[in-house]
Structure 1
Amino acid sequence: METTTAAPTITRCTSCGRTLRAAKSIAAGRGPRCQAKVRAAAKAAVVAEFKPATVAKALELIADNGIVPIRARRVIAFRVVSSDGANRYLTAPQACNCAAGLKAKHACYHRVAATILAAA
């Protein structure tokens, strides 16, 4: 009787790509250094220009790993998930293609999250 052994799953940091080993880091999707950078960027002057409720929602999006960096030509871009999880949007610190982002009255929380991660 043959037994198959599953290959170990390697989890990588969503920011820098390093291998994550600690359970807390794997759950967060980021290593301690990248997590500290994100927290520091959230506290920076970048956040001061946005509404506190929008910043809180953006930080929740980052904590839930609902924003993922993508490769784009010379632009920092991200793919984000909507609040209900049904839609995906493309966003950058400058713009977002969600409904709130297209209206452009205020910065949507996707754009705020992209700004925080771009500053980190």
Structure 2
Amino acid sequence: MRDESKDELSLISLVDFYDLIRYELEDIIPNEIEVLEEIESDEDTTDFDLKVAKAVLLLSFSYVPDSVPQNDANIAVAVMDDLNGQPRTTVRNQVQNSLENLDKYIRPNTDLSFGSRIGRSER
């Protein structure tokens, strides 16, 4: 299905994919979806923070981290939806800032990749 409102250099981002499967995920991972709803309603987070959290959640599924490491560069690619948009390094810097802003929701795993678990921090 082609979205006529977007040009030929637009992409379907991982975040767009999340929005398509959200209701199915509610049955599979209800706690994580609840945390995303908290992030969305948190006045200290931005829309971009929410995009990053959604990307982290999808990249954290059990088989994905083996093939796509969860680092800020890959998260940046996962939230990009326009090839003519901001440079990847700019988006990567925004992702790093968002991960810092989301540290009460997203915890790094033991190998220092981001967001192996979305959940409530014990802080």
TM-score range, shorter chain: 0.3 to 0.5
Greater fraction strand: 1
TM-score (normalised: structure 2): 0.33
Greater fraction helix: 2
